[in-house]
Amino acid sequence: MVALRGEWGSGKTSIKNRVVEVLSPPGETKMQVVTFNPWQWGTDEAITRAFFREIAVALGDAEQSVFARRRAHEFRRYAKTLETLSGGLKNAGSRASSAAVWLSGVGFLVAGGVVWLEPSAKMLATAMLVIAGAVLILSRIIGFLGRDREDDRPLDVSRFDLEQRLKEMPRNVLVVVDDMDRLEDEQIRTVIRHVKANANFPGLTYLLLYQRNILERAFGEGEDGRQYLEKIVQAAFDVPVVEGERIGRIVLAELEKITQPLPSDGKFDQKRWGNIWVGGLRHFFKTLRDAKRFVGGVEVQFSLHSGKRVLETNLIDTVALEVLRLFEPDVYAAISRSRTLITGAARERRESDKERIKAIIAAARPEYKDAVQYVVSQLFPIVGWAFGDSWYGSDWEEGWSSERRICSPRYFDRYFSLRLPDGQISDSEFMDFLEKSADRERISQSFADFEKRNLLPELMERLDEAAVGKKLPLESAGAFLPALFDIAENLPDKMGFGKMPFTNAWRTAFWYLRGEDDAAKRGQAFLNALRKSDSLAVPATLISLDMDGKEKGDTDLLFAADLEEAKEVWVAKLRADLASGLEGMLGNKHLVNFLYRWRDFEGVDGPRAWVASIATKPELLGKLLVGFLSEGVSHALRDHVTSKVISFHWSAIEPLIDVPAFTDAVKALAPDPGSPEFDARDRFLKAAEKHAAAVEAAKAKASDEVEKDGTDEDSAEVRLVDETES
């Protein structure tokens, strides 16, 4: 009997497989191997049955040879004699006898009350006595069938006959008993007892695999258990200890192998990997089993996050997070619940956040706490800040996002999902999109496809980030900018929690143009896109930004001449749209903004004349008024949610109208009650009334000042105009 001892995960099974391979060299009769895992069977009786059955099969129970079957049959007879495997039927007979006695007792108890019971109760008592008798007879039959047929055969005779049969075997049978250290103490003693009783049979060799201290403890404390095993095991070998450095090299070699086929974008940071491996990850690998579990797990993660063009997560972060998931699951779970706390930079953080961050590290096991702190700090710079490291500002976030780091709010959720989270665009798909940007038809179709999938807000955020980082191809301006202008026209200004698709769109256009250092080329690209596009909203925003920049002395987007030409082209396009598609323009959510831009770009006369013409058409005036309704929110003290508030944008319309004449036209309207036009008319009239009251109050105040101070009326009139306008 030979034993191979080692801790869980030390490689005992691998060594056993190698031993079997060596014992069955090519060209020779293959050694018969029985691998018995007692922990799979549960109870002592089940372990005993399985032990003898597995050996019987190896001895020839399933073979066609008469000699092999006789050998197996003899072993089974011996096993029956030794372990009384027929005890199941005996026990069944005993249980049946007990049931008969119980039924008899109940029957007599009921029968004892025959004087007071009804006839039906008497019949029940009689039936129970009859059943008890039948069960008793049945128990005798079962006991007879289950009697030991070999009870009268001496054990030494059975053993001698079996030994003779075993000597006829062509090769020894190797019985491998694995995973005994997973059993309870009583089960361990059962297995060792069977092995000991059969250890001297010819042709049977036993190889026991276990962790030494667990088996010794099952047979007594201290030296007693050790000495007991030493009497049974003839030769014991310990699995060689593999030092951490060798295990680390195995892990690195396997990582190199499984990452070779992955799509790469060339962003692997060798220095960062070296730091996170040496400073933290390597400390988690103690045994070969640790390495094997990790390699299998990280390979699955790579397959889940591998896109058509790139790995959709950062390779280093994926490896590090998988180490935490396997070896520190509590820390991993705490990280998964802390997206808002630990992603992004350290801006707007409170001191109390430090304690919450430190609580994540506190979930680690004491022996790994330092390694966990180092690894998590490398993954999330904000964690390092909580422990006294550098403060990282928001300017770092762009780089983290471009590297698909887990500390980027955009990418965090991907690391904890078995697929791309809903509402996100894979990097591979985004790269495909950028490749189409040089073709107007293809890029427009791509925008339309994203719109159908409700992914335009996400796409605009991605484009905004890419434009700021100068990652959009400038050579595609001729196709990309007009398509961007068109798709942005109907994007909402704000949606959800902080998403601003339209703002992302004009920022994308602005930073995309700023990526071109030559101002002349910038101007030409913008003017070409403006002429090709059917939309006005984004171009109007860019022209206004450049006008403001020139007034403040900031960096210009366009040359002055290009800016003037852009304003002329834009106004001409607006006039054409108003002339050809008036109904559609009145429903355009940007109409008020367009009128303001028209006034800024060309002067107030044009928009005032147009508004005045609409006032003469009752069927259009109500729609114009609806365009000046603005939506806001209110939040009262102690409220947990906000409520929507609708108001009329008086300050936007007042410069564009002759107030008395326009008010008379509005009063003449008779829209349907409950319609948007009815609500807009009502709100306009209330705003006009409030404005008129303010004008009268300002006049009265100016008149009082004239009387008190002797101020001339012309100066008072100027102040009056200023106050009413404000």
* Amino acid 202: pLDDT: 79
Greater model confidence, 201 or 259: 259
Per-residue pLDDT for 583 more than 60?
A: yes
Tokens for 375, please give them: 């690894």
Q: Given pLDDT bands bounded at 50, 70 and 90, which one contains residue 14?
A: confident
Q: Given pLDDT bands bounded at 50, 70 and 90, which one contains residue 343?
A: very high
Q: Given pLDDT bands bounded at 50, 70 and 90, which one contains residue 114?
A: very low
- For 358, half-sphere exposure in the C-beta direction (CA atoms, 13 angstrom radius) is 9
Lowest mean pLDDT among 6-15, 279-288, 334-343, 592-601: 6-15
DSSP annotation of 393 reads: -
Please compute the mean of the pLDDT values over residues 330-346 and round it to a whole number: 92
* Amino acid 231: pLDDT: 80
Q: Given pLDDT bands bounded at 50, 70 and 90, which one contains residue 226?
A: confident
Please compute the mean of the pLDDT values over residues 485-510 and round it to a whole number: 88
Residue 46 CB partners (closer than 8 Å, separation 6+): none
* Amino acid 495: pLDDT: 67
Please compute the mean of the pLDDT values over residues 432-448 and round it to a whole number: 93
DSSP annotation of 58 reads: I
SS3 511: helix
Q: Given pLDDT bands bounded at 50, 70 and 90, which one contains residue 73?
A: low
140-180 pLDDT, tens digit each: 555 554 444 444 556 566 667 666 666 767 667 888 888 77
Per-residue pLDDT for 37 more than 60?
A: yes
Lowest mean pLDDT among 23-32, 83-92, 491-500: 83-92
Greater model confidence, 705 or 341: 341
Phi, psi of 605, deg, nearest 5: -60, -45
Per-residue pLDDT for 348 more than 60?
A: yes
Q: Please give the mean pLDDT across all residues of the chain.
A: 82
* Amino acid 724: pLDDT: 47
Distance from C-alpha of 200 to C-alpha of 160, rounded to nearest angstrom: 12
- According to the 3-state scheme, what is the secondary structure of 120-161? HHHHHHHHHHHHHHHHHHHHHHHHHHCCCCCCCCCHHHHHHH
Q: Given pLDDT bands bounded at 50, 70 and 90, which one contains residue 108?
A: very low
Please compute the mean of the pLDDT values over residues 363-374 and round it to a whole number: 95
Per-residue pLDDT for 47 more than 80?
A: no
Share of the chain above pLDDT 70, in %: 76
* Amino acid 126: pLDDT: 62
Tokens for 347, please give them: 């801006």
* Amino acid 128: pLDDT: 59
Please compute the mean of the pLDDT values over residues 238-257 and round it to a whole number: 83
Please compute the mean of the pLDDT values over residues 14-23 and round it to a whole number: 78
* Amino acid 289: pLDDT: 84
State if pTM tops 0.85. no
